[in-house]
Amino acid sequence: MIIDSIQTAIGNTPLFRFTHHDFFDIPEGSVVYAKLEYLNPGGSIKDRLGVYLIKEGLASGRLTKETTIIEPTAGNTGIGIAIAALAENLQTLFVVPEKFSLEKQALMRALGAELVHTPTEEGITGAIAKAKAIQKEHVDSYLPLQFSNPANPEAYYHSLAPEIVADLGEEITSFVAGIGSGGTFSGVARYLLERNAAIRLVGVEPEGSILNGGASHSHEIEGIGVEFMPTFLETLPITRYATISDSDGFAMTRRLAKEHGLLVGSSSGAAMTAALAEAAQLPAGSQIVTIFPDAGDRYLSKNIYSREEY
Ligand code: PMP
């Protein structure tokens, strides 16, 4: 395969098939499929969003060649936008809460982005407020705001979801995926629902996220979990939310690496934990689809594979 730009290598990721032989929780005859989004060139599912946001921004006239793109991000969206911005020679500036991994910050910088930090305690809400304040100082700037921009779920509706249906057909029993902005979950869920109204939709969050009604507090699983209800989820018929502890999420992340060679991040471990619980409660013959959003090597400084406490 010969390519002329790295952006063309985004998408068309494989689906990894897990059966009873891999995990006893999966009834014989049922299958859990995981979409390996960490194999995208920027190492995450958010490469798809970067390309889509910039294409949409240029088409709608909100972006020109002179525009600086500003975005609050935990890192993967920044990396995705920076990769897409390179192809168009656009400047990028990302507002990142301090707690997020150093590797993700280094990767954003490697791609030419400028970074501004906000205090960990202020969460993503603080980063959003700071990004809005910075935008006012930049005359020609564009703030895509993944948390409220409908282009976020659309990116997944138009790219990731059709790939799943092309590989598996429309009879998917259950879709289980992590929720950060909610873009991936709602975009894919809508596409699948249009093809099978009976599909079960299971949103995955870490303990410390508010979707199941608990109080908001910090957690170690990175990339998922919310401090407020994402707007994209409001009208979706969600079957239930699965709340996964840091210790279960990290244990599964290590197991995926050690037993299957899947070097994924902790949100993938959380998604797999929830997908297995879902498989265990469904009849044999079910098809459960989940998503492994990013790569684990961007969390090595956080001892993702060697931490003792989890
Ligand atoms: N996992 C990881 C590692 C992420 O970075 C993100 C995006 N923050 C997600 C899952 C969740 O994706 P979304 O924002 O589309 O809900």
CATH of the domain at 279: 3.40.50.1100
CA distance 48 to 70: 17
Q: Can you give the residue range of the structural domain that contains 128?
A: 46-142
Name the band, by pLDDT with cuts 50, 70 and 90, for residue 253: very high
> Measuring from each residue's beta carbon to the nearest atom of ligand 1, which residues come in under 6 Å?
44, 46, 74, 76, 178-185, 222-224, 265, 267, 293-294
User: Buried b vs exposed e over 33-64: b needs ≥16 C-beta within 10 Å?
Assistant: bbbbbbbbebbbbbbbbbbbbbbbbbeeeebe
CA of 111 to the centre of ligand 1 (A): 20
Q: Which amino acid is at 22?
A: D
Q: Which atom of ligand 1 is nearest to the CA of 49?
A: 15
Whether 307 is in a domain gets the answer: no
CA of 28 to the centre of ligand 1 (A): 31
Residue nearest to atom 9 of ligand 1 (CA): 223
CA of 78 to the centre of ligand 1 (A): 12
- 136 and 158 share one domain: no
Substitution site in 124, 224, 229, 299 for ligand 1 pocket (most atoms within 8 Å of beta carbon): 224
Whether 261 is in a domain gets the answer: yes
Whether 308 is in a domain gets the answer: no
Degrees, nearest 5: CA angle 201-25-185:
20
- Give the count of domains, the chain: 2
- 179 and 102 share one domain: no
Whether 89 is in a domain gets the answer: yes
Question: Coil, strand or helix: which one is 285?
Answer: coil
- 282 and 223 share one domain: yes
Taking only the tens place, the pLDDT of each residue in 143-195 is: 999 999 999 999 999 999 999 999 999 999 999 999 999 999 999 999 999 99
Residue 233 has pLDDT above 80, yes or no: yes
- 79 and 91 share one domain: yes
- 175 and 92 share one domain: no
- 18 and 74 share one domain: no
Residue 221 CB neighbour total at 10 angstroms: 28
Whether 251 is in a domain gets the answer: yes
* Backbone conformation region of residue 226, classed left if phi is above 0, alpha if psi is from -120 to 50, else beta: beta
The mean per-residue pLDDT over the stretch 199-204 comes to: 98
Q: Where does a domain end: 95, 111, 142?
A: 142
Q: Where does a domain end: 95, 112, 142?
A: 142
- 174 and 132 share one domain: no
- 116 and 176 share one domain: no
Residue 307 has pLDDT above 80, yes or no: no
- 94 and 129 share one domain: yes
CA distance 63 to 92: 12
Q: Where does a domain end: 115, 142, 169?
A: 142
Is residue 46 part of the annotated active site? The answer reads yes
Write the burial class of residue 138 (CB in 10 Å: 0-12 exposed, 13-18 middle, 19+ buried): middle
Name the band, by pLDDT with cuts 50, 70 and 90, for residue 310: low
